[in-house]
């Protein structure tokens, strides 16, 4: 296997982009990444997208997007794993470069979510759960995560305020990110007074509906300096895992077993452990998710995820800053793009390009992207080469 480098990253604007189509948003991000990498060609492409069929009535993205990017003729594939589509696309691109099949691979992620009504978006997102045995009975995604929250609160004494601190922290980070959809700070009181969606979760516990794309360019590590003069970032570890699709089929509702397994594989491959990570982007689709994820990644002990947000452990300046980009909560969550945008944030952090939200001396970062209620997860570890 060859060593692989990330030599370019880019993002489109994120938000409610009424004037832009899926193809335009994707090409914006892809061109930004190609420009950042300084490459004059792309040998192959992977696109992470959860549900362009339900959101915009368009499938066959490999053809559409290679065509509109002006690279038709290259091999391309769309990758789907619900909200983990972007992360799995990145892993696919990584494997293709590592294997020696292609040298310069573009990995993109995209979702155009505002061409349907709120109910249409809820329906599309609900397809990431078991439609016949969860969705059929009227449970929503906020509802599934709310059931995790109730269980976590009962078992570990996690408080409603601690859960709110995740949103407050991520908005504080997002307020420093010019690309965030909601770049402003919120307070615990605002979270606790916002509209109830599924008890105990409120609207400010939930990530938003977002249009957006992100992209990264990968190449063999020994070729990286031919293209880029920037600091080269190396993919040190890649791990992926699956779990039951239905939350009710798990022994433990608050332990993300797929995240645990994926991270153990990535740590082993990189030869590091949780305490060696300087900065992490994790899947905070709901506030409670970040709490359970940082436990599964080994950043904190089981049951202590709530305290971590409250104490500042996971804030900028804390022991392990989590979601410096603002996370899904503040930056936005165009589902298929999220996993690739995490790579963008960590790459920029390692290059020292993150401005006000820069983690000083960041040498190694981790991304964790998951689908549904954790039925699929992919973890990557990036390092300064």
Partner 1 sequence: MFPARYWREIPQRYRLEAGKCKVCGKTCFPPRSKCPKCGNTTFDVIRLPEDGVVRTFTVIRVAPSQFSEQAPYAIGIVELDGGVKITTQIVDCPLEKIHIGQKVKVEFRRIQADGSAGILCYGYKCVPVS
106-144 exposure pattern, b = at least 16 Cβ within 10 A, e = fewer: bbbbbbbbbebeeeebeebbbebbbeeebbeeebbbbbb
Q: How many CB atoms lie within 10 A of CB 252?
A: 12
CB of 129 to partner 1, least distance (A): 9
Active-site residue flag, 292: no
Nearer to partner 1, 253 or 299 (CB): 253
Judged by DSSP in three states, 30 sits in helix
CB of 120 to partner 1, least distance (A): 9
Nearer to partner 1, 199 or 353 (CB): 199
Separation in Å, CA 224 to CA 58, 142, 260, 265: 35, 42, 31, 25
Q: Which two tokens stand for residue 292?
A: 């359970």
CB of 130 to partner 1, least distance (A): 8
Nearer to partner 1, 146 or 279 (CB): 146
Nearer to partner 1, 107 or 153 (CB): 153
Nearer to partner 1, 199 or 225 (CB): 199
Active-site residue flag, 380: no
Choose, from 49, 83, 219, 292, the residue flagged as catalytic: 83
The C-alpha atoms of residue 17 and residue 25 are separated, in whole angstroms, by 9
Phi, psi at residue 239, to the nearest 5°? -140, 145
The C-alpha atoms of residue 149 and residue 37 are separated, in whole angstroms, by 41
CB of 200 to partner 1, least distance (A): 8
Q: Residues 173, 330: contact at Cβ < 8 Å?
A: yes
Choose, from 171, 283, 333, 380, the residue flagged as catalytic: 333
Contact residues for partner 1 (CB under 8 A)? 119, 122-123, 126, 132-140, 142-143, 146-148, 150-151, 154, 195-201, 246-249, 253
Q: Residues 227, 41: contact at Cβ < 8 Å?
A: no
CB of 261 to partner 1, least distance (A): 16
**47 contact partners, CB below 8 Å, separation of at least 6:** 26, 61, 62, 65, 76, 77, 78, 79, 89, 107, 108, 109, 110, 336
Q: Which residues are known to be catalytic?
A: 83, 333
């Amino acid at each position: 296997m060859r060593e692989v480098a990330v030599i370019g990253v880019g993002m489109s604007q994120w938000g409610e982009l009424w004037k832009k189509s899926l193809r335009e948003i994707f090409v914006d991000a892809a061109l930004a990444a190609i420009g950042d990498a300084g490459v004059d060609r792309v040998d192959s492409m992977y696109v992470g997208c959860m549900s362009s069929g339900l959101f915009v009535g368009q499938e066959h993205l490999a053809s559409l997007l290679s065509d509109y990017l002006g690279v038709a003729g290259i091999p391309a594939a769309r990758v789907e794993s619900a909200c983990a589509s972007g992360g799995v696309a990145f892993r696919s691109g990584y494997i293709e470069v590592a294997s020696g099949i292609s040298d310069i691979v573009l990995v993109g992620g995209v979702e155009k979510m505002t061409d349907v009504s709120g109910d249409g978006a809820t329906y599309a997102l609900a397809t990431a759960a078991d439609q016949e045995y969860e969705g059929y009975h009227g449970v929503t995604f906020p509802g599934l995560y709310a059931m995790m929250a109730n269980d976590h609160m009962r078992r570990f004494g996690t408080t409603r305020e601690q859960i709110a601190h995740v949103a407050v922290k991520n908005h504080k980070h997002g307020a420093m990110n010019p690309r965030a959809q909601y770049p402003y700070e919120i307070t615990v009181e605002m979270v606790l007074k916002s509209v109830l969606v599924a008890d105990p979760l409120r609207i400010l516990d939930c990530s938003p509906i977002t249009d957006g794309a992100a992209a990264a360019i990968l190449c063999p590590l020994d070729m990286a300096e031919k293209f880029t003069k920037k600091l080269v970032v190396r993919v040190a570890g890649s791990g992926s895992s699956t779990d039951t699709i239905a939350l009710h089929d798990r022994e433990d509702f608050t332990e993300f077993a797929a995240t645990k397994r994926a991270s153990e594989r990535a740590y082993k491959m990189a030869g590091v452990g949780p305490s060696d990570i300087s900065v992490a982007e994790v899947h905070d689709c709901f506030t409670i998710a970040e709490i359970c994820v940082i436990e599964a990644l080994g950043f904190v002990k089981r049951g202590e995820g709530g305290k971590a947000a409250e104490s500042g452990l996971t804030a900028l300046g804390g022991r392990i800053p989590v979601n410096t980009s603002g996370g899904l909560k503040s930056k936005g969550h165009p589902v298929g793009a999220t996993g690739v945008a995490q790579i963008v944030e960590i790459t920029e952090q390692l290059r020292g390009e993150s401005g006000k939200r820069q983690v000083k001396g960041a040498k190694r970062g981790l991304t964790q992207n998951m689908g549904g209620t954790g039925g699929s997860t992919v973890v990557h570890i990036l390092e300064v080469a």
